[in-house]
Amino acid sequence: MANPPPIDERSDLPGLQRLLATVAALRAPDGCPWDRKQTTDSMAPHLLEEAFETADALRRNVDGEAAEELGDVLVNVAMICQIAGEAGRFGADAIAAAAAEKLIRRHPHVFGPDADRVDGAEAAYGSWERMKQQERGAADAEASRSVLAGVPAALPALLRAFRIGEKASRTGFDWPDRSGPRAKLDEEIAELDEAVATGDPAAVRAELGDVLFSICNLARHLGVNPEVALADTCDEFQRRFTAIESEFDHDLRGRSLDELEAAWQRAKPQA
């Protein structure tokens, strides 16, 4: 049985170095059979799952859990880098160096030879976006130079809509205040009602999508991330529903809607 790699106290980042060494040991010929059979493709879903769990812990402000989940993200990143490095594709150090260079390149207002400190977070973001566009303009086709190209299609839909709205807004394509998206929401709900009346499933789906997108725009103007708001509401609903189940000994069959509603109202102050 292999011994766990020791902590190198001489390293500037001894914990990180030990993690990389541990992952390399797990992938060694005498390492773990499960870890040795993994590929970058098989590890991708694990990375996504751990990222979501980390985001959830951060949303709930549970530091111990967030730190543990961030560690799980690091494990997945280290494993993917180790697997790719073994195939001569890319490695952890090269990735870290490239990421640092990108940060430096996209912050000319901090690291440039004639660094000009920007005034506020929005100006700093604008500087980042300009550098990003310059890089894309040199490397990508016209279609991928859109300001929306940086919003991953794999994001949860609510978060994707929110980010798309943010990006579009920074070009000036936005309502001047919250009254615009609020009125748009009413408009889209009316169109959804019309689609429901027709009984056309495709139209209902399209109009419901428009309603959700309008809600995300309104949320942005209200300074609320809709993904976080909905997650909070899901947590609240789950707590109250669990309380109802407990009241009826986890058997809701045969209970009237009035009984359940009354139990819901009793659960609200406690959950």
Quick one: 131 exposed, middle or buried, by C-beta within 10 A (0-12, 13-18, 19+)? middle
If you average pLDDT over residues 243-262, what whole number do you get? 94
* Tens-place pLDDT, residues 36-48: 999 999 999 999 9
pLDDT at 82 over 70: yes
Among residues of the chain, what percentage have pLDDT more than 70?
91
- Report pLDDT for 131: 76
Phi, psi of 46 (to 5 degrees): -65, -40
At residue 61 the predicted structure's pLDDT band, cuts being 50, 70 and 90, is very high
CB contact set of 11 (below 8 Å; sequence gap of 6+): 17
Q: What's the rounded Cα separation, in Å, for the pair 105 and 131?
A: 8
At residue 142 the predicted structure's pLDDT band, cuts being 50, 70 and 90, is low
Phi, psi of 119 (to 5 degrees): -100, 95
Summary count for the chain: helices (H), strands (E): 12, 0
Enumerate domains of the chain plus CATH numbers. 14-104 (1.10.287.1080), 106-145 (no CATH), 228-267 (no CATH)
| Count of residues making up the chain | 271
Cα end-to-end distance, the chain, whole Å: 49
Q: What's the rounded Cα separation, in Å, for the pair 13 and 92?
A: 14
- Report pLDDT for 2: 63
Among residues of the chain, what percentage have pLDDT more than 90?
73
pLDDT at 19 over 60: yes
- Report pLDDT for 180: 97
Dihedral sign computed on CA atoms, order 245, 246, 252, 256:
negative
At residue 140 the predicted structure's pLDDT band, cuts being 50, 70 and 90, is low
- Report pLDDT for 62: 95
pLDDT at 20 over 60: yes
> Which pair of structure tokens corresponds to residue 121?
């977070």
- Report pLDDT for 143: 52
pLDDT at 22 over 90: yes
Taking the CB of residue 144, how many other CB atoms lie within 10 A of it?
12
DSSP state, residue 155: S
Structure-model confidence comparison of residues 229 and 120, the more confident one: 229
pLDDT at 123 over 70: yes
If you average pLDDT over residues 233-260, what whole number do you get? 95
pTM: 0.71
CB contact set of 242 (below 8 Å; sequence gap of 6+): 271
* Tens-place pLDDT, residues 181-212: 999 999 999 999 999 999 999 999 999 999 99
pLDDT at 127 over 80: no
At residue 114 the predicted structure's pLDDT band, cuts being 50, 70 and 90, is low
- Report pLDDT for 147: 83
User: What's the mean pLDDT when you consider all of the chain?
Assistant: 90
Least reliable range by pLDDT among 21-25, 31-35, 128-132, 204-208: 128-132
Instruction: 26-30: list long-range contacts, CB under 8 Å, 24+ apart.
Output: 26/79, 27/79, 27/82, 27/83, 27/86, 28/2, 30/2
- Report pLDDT for 141: 53
Q: Give the type of residue at 85.
A: G
If you average pLDDT over residues 168-185, what whole number do you get? 96
pLDDT at 83 over 70: yes
